[in-house]
Structure 1
Amino acid sequence: MDYSLDSTITLNNGVKMPRLGMGVWKINNAGASQSVQWAIKHGYRAIDTAKQYGNEAGVGQGLTKGLADNNMKREDIFLTTKIFNGDQGYESTLEAFEDQLKRLQTDYVDLLLIHWPVDGKYLDTWRALEKIYHEGKARAIGVSNFNITRLKTILKNGSVKPTINQMEFHPLCQEEDIRNYCEQRNIQFEAWSPLGGGKVLNDERLKKIAAKYNKSVAQIILRWDLQQNVITIPKSVHEERLIQNTQIFDFELSNEDVQEINTYDNEARDLWYSGFYWHGNPTGMKDSVKQWND
């Protein structure tokens, strides 16, 4: 499989999305701005943020400066953001999204996702995304953290098929059932938290595979993502690691090693419905996002 940093996947509406991008979860505004500038400088063409991260303003600043510094245009970058849970609903989503565009310093995003399926709200939110899509303010729309039941509800009641389902995905959390369901319906699967934190990077089995290829565990995991046809968006606040995360195109995992890693799944999720605050549509949904203005 001959991939490069410019490699893309064609979504079900014809839009091309980079296979590898950068995420900015748990990065403040100053850090997000710097990381985005570094990412653009080193060849990244996809950036993923969310209102809930509290750093859309930083991403917007970094995107504007990064494009100018590298003599690039807005259309050269694939930008993703997400609808915050407290904004869900039809009119509230439309209103909130306009504010998100202002923070991001753009008049459109390439991909807009429902961040979490807030029960009792997400169908109205999806109708709002469809309107945004038809108005050209989002080139593609999709969902995040949707299980099969909720995907079925969107497919049954919506008029636009989601292009993406973004889920927690790494060797210890592979979501095989949801991935298979998405693949059968031409909904692209995308990984958040692809490196899975310390519990994955310190896995002794992955360390052995990494030594075999003279690569880091992170590079092995990201290459495994590519060979699984999963879009992946690792984050880093360190320029050197941002560069290292792109050095995955000069080798290929053997089929045996891919299958070996596939056996590591033990559903070790960081987040899921049973412990998620918004599940069950609680009252008092307010915008409690902390905008990190440092």
Structure 2
Amino acid sequence: MAAVTAAMVKELREKSGAGMMDCKKALGETDGNIEAAIDWLRTKGLAAAAKKSGRVAAEGLVAAATEGNKGSLIEVNAETDFVGRNADFQGFVSTLGGLVLQNGDDIEALKSLAYPGTGRTVEEQLTHNIATIGENMSIRRAATISVDSGVVVPYVHSAVVPGLGKIGVLVALESTGDAAKLADLGKQIAMHIAATSPQSLSTDDLDPEVVERERTVLVDQAKASGKTEEIAQKMVEGRIRKFYQEVVLLEQTFVIDNETKISKVVENAAKEVGAPVKLVGFRHFVLGAGIEKEQEDFAAEVAATLGS
């Protein structure tokens, strides 16, 4: 029997899309013959993932999980919204949320972890799911956040089951005050974040390139209006402040009362919870955000089918 090398396993994985252990077994069963191993995997339904790997996966689920003073988010994508209602897929995403919570948000490290109760790694379980459910899937991104003292509050919008939905938010509040009241505050802020999609916590955290790009557009607009340089600069500074109010969480107006800045909401909460409160961070995932989806042209598809 031919010796199965790591290079052979790697080549078979790239050609078949199957998991590492499945590839190793296939090579062992076929005396190291790559093509025969692919056929062996196909007969077992394990090479089906390769055929689906090029299809756009922009649906799926976001999971939010918390334990103690830390929380995690993970986004797992599939091709159709229907898969998000599949109990096996839901269980997979929920399990990954727990693994991220315990092990961190490095996706490559996550893929190498043992998937509970299967004898497979997370990556191998993903490949197995692709083959059995029949859609391309990907583990897109993960995030964690924690506090030394206080609470991390999760919120899932459009939840299909508890903790799983299309928008996930984590809010981290540092405080020694009443935990239940902190959790209520955190949920309100999380719902605000889900509604407004802030880009950063504070003005200092906002990407300088984003600010510069906005400033350039505003300067060009002011100059085009025929204003003097002095007036144009004043206009731009005023509009930059307004821009901050749109994209920076602490500068935004609270959607619940539509008048108080988030920074003031947090400050005012100290009286209610019995200790100073600091909003130290947030995490926010919107399912499929930034993924370029294929636009189907039904008329062209029909014409192609008819050969016209």
Shared fold by TM > 0.5? no
Q: TM-score, normalised by structure 1?
A: 0.23
Greater relative CO (CA pairs within 8 A, separation 6+): 1
Q: TM-score, normalised by structure 2?
A: 0.22
Between Structure 1 and Structure 2, the one with more strand by share is 2
Larger Rg: 2
Between Structure 1 and Structure 2, the one with more helix by share is 2
